């Protein structure tokens, strides 16, 4: 089952954000919410065979990781506002080193990128980056872990973590710059076509 890790370098870890200003008051949480939508929403259904990790690194209490497990998800709707309310509820939970369940299929923890990736050891890491090699047909595997930045690229430190992964590759999904949520859609499409 594929997993996606989306890093929000400036996304706020404060649960007091306004649902009416998701782009301005949250450090671009709206971008990550669109990633949730792309990972799970199908026409009249929810994709159950995907996990999505959102890594929030903004103030006031970074890092904060959110885990969306497709097999367990409930209450997820296709609009950003209701997904933001689910994120708000998760951020209200105490941040512990282990996962704490917020709502069915949504968990939160006090984890940084290394902590999230430690849970995914033994799997290939696919770094989605504009400057990567173009994706060759059939190159993706069903258990790949995809990592990408939200609004901003990964930090140099995060890139070192990714490049130091035992089994990794850096790919581009096309010749043009794409939104993070579109990258998730294209990667899932490529996986489904190859299976």
Q: Which domain does 120 fall in, by range?
A: 1-195
**How far are the Cα atoms of 35, 51, 104, 194 from residue 142, in angstroms, in the given order?**
19, 12, 24, 9
What's the burial of 15, exposed, middle or buried (CB within 10 Å: 0-12/13-18/19+)?
Answer: middle
Residues written for the chain? 195
Percent of the chain residues past pLDDT 90, beyond the cut: 85
Mean per-residue pLDDT, 131-141: 87
User: Rounded to 10 degrees, what is the CA torsion of 103, 126, 176, 39?
Assistant: -20
For residues 130 and 53, give the distance between their C-alpha atoms in angstroms, rounded to a whole number.
21
Maximum Cα interatomic distance, the chain, rounded to a whole number of Å: 44
CATH code of the domain covering residue 167: 3.40.1280.10
CB 148 within 8 A of CB 127: yes
Structure tokens at 189: 């499409």
* Location of structure tokens 């990964």: 154
For residues 82 and 121, give the distance between their C-alpha atoms in angstroms, rounded to a whole number.
32
DSSP 8-class letter at 22? T
Residue 112 has pLDDT above 80, yes or no: yes
- Mean of the per-residue pLDDT values of the chain: 94
Residue 97 has pLDDT above 90, yes or no: no
Based on the structure, what is the number of domains in the chain?
1
For residues 112 and 108, give the distance between their C-alpha atoms in angstroms, rounded to a whole number.
12
pLDDT of 129 reads 93
Structure tokens at 175: 């010749």
* pLDDT tens-digit readout, 5-49: 999 999 999 999 999 999 888 999 999 999 999 999 999 899 999
pLDDT of 138 reads 84
* pLDDT tens-digit readout, 174-190: 888 899 999 999 999 99
pLDDT band at 165 (very low <50, low <70, confident <90, very high): very high
pLDDT of 171 reads 93
pLDDT of 69 reads 98
């Amino acid at each position: 089952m594929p997993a996606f890790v989306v890093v929000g370098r400036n996304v706020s870890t404060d649960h007091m954000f306004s649902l009416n200003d998701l782009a301005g008051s949250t450090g671009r949480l709206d971008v990550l919410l669109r990633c949730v939508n792309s990972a799970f929403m199908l026409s009249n259904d929810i994709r159950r065979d995907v996990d999505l990790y959102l890594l929030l690194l903004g103030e006031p209490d970074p890092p904060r990781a959110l885990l969306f497990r497709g097999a367990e998800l409930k209450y997820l709707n296709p609009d950003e506002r209701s997904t933001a309310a689910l994120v708000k509820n998760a951020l209200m939970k105490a941040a512990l080193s282990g996962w704490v369940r917020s709502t069915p299929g949504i968990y939160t923890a006090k984890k940084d990128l290394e902590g999230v990736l430690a849970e995914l050891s033994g799997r290939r890491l696919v770094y989605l980056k504009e400057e990567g090699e173009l994706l060759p047909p059939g190159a993706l595997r069903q258990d790949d872990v995809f990592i990408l930045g939200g609004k901003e690229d990964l930090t140099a430190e995060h890139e070192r973590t990714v490049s130091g992964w035992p089994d990794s590759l850096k790919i581009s999904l096309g010749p043009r710059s794409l939104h993070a949520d579109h990258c998730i859609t294209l990667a899932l499409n490529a996986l489904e076509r190859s299976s």
